[in-house]
Amino acid sequence: MARHTLELGFAGDKKAVDIEVADGTPVPWGLDTPHTEVGERIPRVEARDKVTGRAKYTYDINLPGLLHARVLVSPHPCARVESIDATAALAMSGVRAVSLATDPDWPVGRQIKHEGQEVAAVAADSIDIAADALERIVVRYAVEPHVTDEVAALAPGAPQVHERTPGNTDAGRGQQQGDRDAAFAASSKKIEETYRTQVQNHTALEPHGSVAHWEGDRLTVWCSTQGTFSVLDNLARHFKIPQDKIVVLCHHMGGGFGAKFGAAGCDRLAVLLAKRTGKPVKLMYHRREEHLLGGNRPSSRQTLGVGATAEGEITYVDVDTSGAVGVAGSARCATPIIYRYRAANKRERNVYLHTPASCAFRAPGHPQGVFAFEMAIDELALALGLDPLAMRRKNDPNPVRAAQYALGAEKFEWATRYNKAPGAGGPLVRGIGVAATQWGQLGGPGTEAMVRVHADGKVEVFSGAQDIGTGTRTAMAILTAEELGLAAHAVASHIGDTRWPVGTASGGSRTLPSLGPAVREAAHNARAKLLAIVGSELGAPVSELSLAGGHVVRAGKRVCTWAEACARIPKATGRIDAVGARQADIAPYQRTVAGVQFAEVEVDLRTGVVRCTRVLAIQDCGTVINRLAAESQIAGGVIGGLAYALFEDRVLDPRSGRMLNADLEWYKLPGMRDTPEITAIAFDVSNGANTCGIAGLGEPTTIPTASAIGNAIANATGVRVRSLPFTPDKVQAAIDARRSR
Amino acid sequence: MRAFEYVLAGTIPDAARALELAGAVVKGGGIDLVDRLKSRTIVPSRLVGVDRVAGLADIRVEGDALMVGAAVRIAALAEHAEVARRLPALAAAARDAATPQVRAMATVAGNVLQRPRCWYFRSALEACPKRGDAVPCPAIPGRHEYGAIFANTKCAAVHPSSLAVPLLALGAQLRVTGPAGERAIPFDALFVGPDVDILREHSLALGEVATAIQVALPAGVASAYAECRHRQSSDWPLATCAVAGRRTADGALSDVRVVLGAVAGVPHRALAAERELLGKRIDPALAARVAEAALEGATPLPLNRYKLAIVRAVVAEAVTALAPL
């Protein structure tokens, strides 16, 4: 044990913490730690593979004798399957097996409570044969009344989705803090408004799916997943296979956003059909199925009451939310009240519909909750005659955000670009808006890594976890290289194979804060082993040796090169293997990360068309490991938030309950011309939560974008649109409503 | 998509012969067709590829007419210097259509003759009178936010072609070859609205193949095009407008045509707007009056009233673009 003083925070708020460092463990990085690789701008190690097509996604896996499978899904939102006749399909040339919802071993749900529920699957020699075979499967449905509209679901006499939720609703968590009556009485301005957000589908570019391959009693599954180990666990339990007989692989994956944590219906069906046919089977959802089965973010209807004193101090926050979860899920709107306040009161309820289940989606609950909250704070500021940015700076106690507001105000030229005469002029009007957020995820124990140093000097780092797209391989290489005094590109990263060390699922922005410290510890242990070898040969105490710049260094002098050091690894083994683990949290500077975003929009007052022209996103993610990847991830979050704000919307037919835009034509995602100029700033904060100071980044960056855009629309036009997405009809209606006042 | 036979025609007569098989359909760039094959809303026996027919992808000036081969790609039309110089409305519509990938493949005739993008029409799960089902249009009581605001009592689908709008404004003709020989169909007579025949959008007879689009190039012809989209990348316009006419000495237009796109089952001539515009010196106030007149006869549905303001904006923009300098 050694005592160590850890410098945390950032230039604007430094904090020194005394900690104990166990012998042989890496000393946690602090604000004053110099780095050579960490924090630099390092292109992804697999970038070339990805742009040349060498990177193999699950979709690309092709094995000898591979069969192709498709699923047949219910066109009805609510029905019972009376019978399924697959005789004609099985008689087709090239059809190898079917699995039906009426089979005893059907591995998916049997109740049809939403459009898109799987009822059969076919494995065939080609994907076209499988698709033709689906048309020859005759399913007799007993169609039952459905309800797919939130208002209709709550009306008396509505079809009931579940017996356990009479009236199609139940209450979520409530929360009450402070003396609400006193806070209300102390308020000189009060706002109460209702905000709405739409259902947003995950819409990963690579749909869910697997390639399953049995060899005897051993199963290998390539799966498009954000949790290789959770897929392994799910399959082992479902098919009662010993864990050691299953390998799950995910070398590259095309997006998950929270909907790919475990083995989905398609994954289980691929395993079953592979077992039944004795051949490898690929089953990927097609786009329509991906829309229906690939997950969604619940809608919300949120009534917010907020008040403030005449001086602009926030007094109370009332939040009353409900949201349509589909057949399952939680409509919880996360409304982190990041400002000082005296009383808060939250109520929430879920509404059940005959629509696909909602599930975790990039910062679950936050984009919708923060959309309403940050719009309401803006409205309160305007009602008080205060500048919305000044209102936030006055009420926000967080020192990181305080610095981010100041940085953003300067970089975005808030004072000069803030529209002093909203709605004047035109037809094109401009405005800017701001919104703030927090996120609380610092990762945790349970993730391990292995670093391997070969006698020829090559270095490899291994994790069984996957890369959801954030650049995990590169971050692992950077952390390993930093510890070994090498350049990041000298390290080969291997991920996405459950035979390698156990790793976290990529959810809650926890991959790198969990995996990074494990990698660092593994590299640290490899370093100790190598220096012990070198030290014993040189007769030097290990404590006097270090690794830097590709050399072993003693007392400031280079002793030998990395290659020469590795050459001393005993021939009998030829390499060093060292493992490391993410240890318990040390001394977090804060348990949350802070972010602020600014948006500029141009609104056409004639048509109601909104274009977002610029976004500045400033995001704390603890210690920045790869600045290039961090900025890319921030930009990705902003684009996701922009899509939520302006475009994405699941459209259901009011009568059939079916999704009408289960494609990428009418389910609108932004393209290049819709993407604003994005300035992403990864705001360095030394967070002592772990030995690397890493905090989560993936989710917070998407949270405040929609509210910043909504606030910018208000600044441009002088009217408030309180419903997402900001489509031309809604923007026009708000402008017209003001004209007619 | 189900199995079909594919015939790559070397000449137009070859194509016409190949089309004699029941269920045979023409394939140009395949942009519209492949979508419908994949959704299984069309199950043809044979595809007859015509996009490799010699000369069918040429753009030529013949006398005082521009001849655009049926298989000219939209990208080639957009990049053609003579088109940009003499028919700016057509060039603009070509430039703005779809995506670079689609423009590189889609043919001009395919664009003009493509079928609507209505999500009910395009879904094999939905019954649709345009596909021959004996049901009323499901979009009218359903979701029609992108639907028609004119002539929409039987069908709410809008005609999706961007190019058809300036071509109708410019008085173009479609040249076709079929079992009965060659003929030229004026764009005025080319499109068929749902009130006439809900099953089709154009008047080509069975077995007829488009060979070229012919646009007259009279002296003094002026044209402008404007469109409004929700999404700026690859989206179907909410409304488009092409205005064409001949400039007169006093800053006005004669022989004027005002055509709206994405507002009806066919490209829609706004006759009241043409009357308002004809012979008057163009200024912003006139543009606003023309825009208002363009809405004469509009019958918006509950979810697409917002398109009225969009039409006003695109008409005013296209008219204003033709104001004297």
- pLDDT value at position A713? 98
DSSP-derived secondary structure for A49-72:
HHHHT-S--GGG---TT-EEEEEE
| Per-residue model confidence as pLDDT tens digits over A35-53 | 999 999 999 999 999 999 9
Residues of A in contact with B310 (CB under 8 A): 607, 728
The 3-state secondary structure of A68-134 reads EEEEEECCCCCEEEEEEECHHHHCCCCEEEEEECCCCCCCCCCCECCCCCEEEEEEECCHHHHHHHH
Q: Strands, DSSP E only, in A562-638?
A: 575-581, 593-604, 610-620
d(CA A708, CA A433): 5
pLDDT of residue A399: 97
**pLDDT value of position B201:** 98
Chain B residues within 8 A of A427 when measuring between CB atoms: 313
Distances A440 to A108, A405, A589, A696 between C-alpha atoms, Å: 34, 19, 12, 8
Residue B87 exposure: Cα atoms within 13 Å on the Cβ side: 31
A151 touches chain B (CB under 8 A): no
Q: pLDDT per residue over B159-192, tens digit each?
A: 999 999 999 999 999 999 998 899 999 999 999 9
- Is A653 touching B (CB cutoff 8 A)? yes
Cβ pair A115, A129 in contact under 8 A? no
A606/B309 touch (CB, cutoff 8 Å), yes or no: yes
Q: Are A77 and A114 in contact (CB under 8 A)?
A: yes
Q: Which band of pLDDT confidence, cut at 50, 70 and 90, is reported for residue A70?
A: very high
Q: How far is B292 from chain A (nearest CA, A)?
A: 13
Chain B hits for A653, Cβ within 8 Å: 120, 126, 138, 142-143
Rounded to an integer, the average pLDDT of A191-214 is 98
Task: Say yes or no for a CB contact (<8 Å) between A611 and B232.
Answer: yes
Nearest to B230 among A135, A609, A665 (CB): A609
CA distance A610 to chain B (A): 8
CA distance B313 to chain A (A): 6
Asked whether residue A1 carries a pLDDT value surpassing 90, the answer given is no
Contacts of B313 in chain A (CB under 8 A): 427, 604, 606-607
**Mean pLDDT of all residues in A647-668:** 98
Mutate: best of A125, A607, A661, A735, partner B, most B CBs <10 A: A607
Mean pLDDT, chain A, integer: 97
Q: CA angle, corner A655, sides to A164 and B147, nearest 5?
A: 140
Residue A657 backbone phi and psi in degrees, to 5: 75, 5
Report CB contact under 8 Å: A655, B138: yes
Residues of A in contact with B120 (CB under 8 A): 653, 660
Contact predicate A567/A505, CB 8 Å: no
Interchain contact A656–B (C-beta under 8 A): yes
In this prediction, residues A694-707 reach a mean pLDDT of: 96
B146: which chain A residues are within 8 Å (Cβ-Cβ)?
666
- What are the Cα distances from residue A22, in Å, to A1, A27, A172? 4, 9, 44
For chain B, give percent helix, strand, coil, nearest 5. Answer: 30, 20, 50
Which positions 166-185 of A are in contact with B (Cβ < 8 Å)? none
Average pLDDT over residues B254-266: 98
Contacts of B306 in chain A (CB under 8 A): 608, 728-729, 732-733
Chain-chain contact of B232 with A656 (C-beta, under 8 angstroms): no
In angstroms and rounded to an integer, the radius of gyration of the C-alpha atoms of chain A is 28
In a mutational test of the A interface, the residue from B36, B38, B118, B232 whose CB has the highest number of chain A CBs within 10 Å is: B232
- Which residue of chain A is at minimal alpha-carbon distance from B314? A607
- Quickly tell me which residue has 């059909």 as its tokens: A273
Partner residue facing B306 (CB), from A135, A670, A728? A728
For chain B, report the end-to-end CA distance as a whole number of angstroms.
Answer: 54
Q: Do residue A427 and residue B313 have CB atoms under 8 angstroms apart?
A: yes
A670 close to A642: Cβ distance less than 8 angstroms: yes
Mutation pick from A70, A606, A667 vs chain B, by most beta carbons of B within 10 Å, is A606
Measured between CB atoms, which of B233, B309, B312 is closest to A673? B233
CA distance A37 to A664: 40
Average pLDDT over residues B242-252: 95
Other CB atoms within 10 A of residue B132 CB: 10
**Mutate which of A291, A292, A602, A609 to disrupt the B interface (most B C-beta within 10 Å)?**
A609
- Confidence class for position B3, pLDDT limits 50, 70, 90: confident
Per DSSP, the three-state class of A714 is: helix
**CB of A193 within 8 Å of any CB in chain B?**
no
Residue B154 has pLDDT above 90, yes or no: yes
Report d(CA A397, CA A386) in Å as an integer. 18
Tell me which amino acid residue A78 is: C
Q: What's the pLDDT at B276?
A: 98
SS3 A524: helix
Omega before residue A427 within 30° of 0, cis: yes
Instruction: Check: CB of residue B186 under 8 Å from CB of residue B239.
Output: no
Task: Using an 8 Å CB-CB cutoff, list chain A residues near B2.
Answer: 132
**Per-residue pLDDT tens over the stretch A560-619:** 999 999 999 999 999 999 999 999 999 999 999 999 999 999 999 999 999 999 999 999
Question: Cis bond leading into A725, ω under 30°?
Answer: yes
Residue A174 confidence class, pLDDT cut points 50, 70, 90? confident
Nearest to A668 among B3, B235, B305 (CB): B235
Say if residues A407 and A685 touch (Cβ distance below 8 Å). Answer: no
Band (pLDDT 50/70/90 cuts) for residue A228 is very high
Minimal CA separation from A462 to chain B, in Å: 40
Q: Dump pLDDT digits (tens) for A530-571.
A: 999 999 998 999 999 999 999 999 999 999 999 999 999 999
| ipTM summary value | 0.97
pLDDT at B306: 98
d(CA A653, nearest CA chain B) in Å: 6
Q: For residue A667, what are the CA distances in angstroms to A425, A502, A661, B207?
A: 33, 37, 5, 36
pLDDT at A647 over 80: yes
**Does the pLDDT value for residue B2 go beyond 90?**
no
**Segment A706-728 mean pLDDT:** 98
B138 interaction partners in chain A (CB closer than 8 Å): 653, 655-656
pLDDT > 80? residue B1: no
B2 → closest Cβ in A132, A608, A668: A132
The beta-carbon neighbor of B231 closest among A128, A655, A671 is: A671
Determine, for residues A607 and B138 on separate chains, whether the beta-carbon distance falls below 8 Å. no
Q: How confident is the model at residue A245 (pLDDT cuts 50, 70, 90)?
A: very high
CA angle B262, B265, B271 (to 5 degrees): 75
For residue A2, what are the β-bridge partners?
A21
Per-residue pLDDT at A184:
97
- Which active-site residues of A does the annotation give? 699
Mean pLDDT of A334-351: 95
Each residue's pLDDT tens digit, A259-313: 999 999 999 999 999 999 999 999 999 999 999 999 999 999 999 999 999 999 9
Q: Which residue of B has its CA nearest to A661?
A: B119
**B234 dihedral zone (left: phi>0; alpha: psi -120 to 50; beta):** left
Q: What does the block give as tokens for B263?
A: 């507002």
Distance from CA of B88 to the nearest CA of A (A): 22
Give the residue-averaged pLDDT of A690-696. Answer: 95
Arithmetic mean of pLDDT, A348-363: 97
Phi/psi-derived region of residue A24, left when phi > 0, alpha when psi is between -120 and 50, beta in every other case = left
**Distance (Å, rounded) from C-alpha A524 to C-alpha A536?**
18
- Which pLDDT does position A173 carry in this prediction? 82
Q: Do A733 and B306 touch (CB under 8 A)?
A: yes
Pairing of strands A175-177, A491-494: unpaired
Q: Which of A136, A153, A54, A36 is nearest to A93 (CA)?
A: A136
Q: Are A701 and A634 in contact (CB under 8 A)?
A: yes
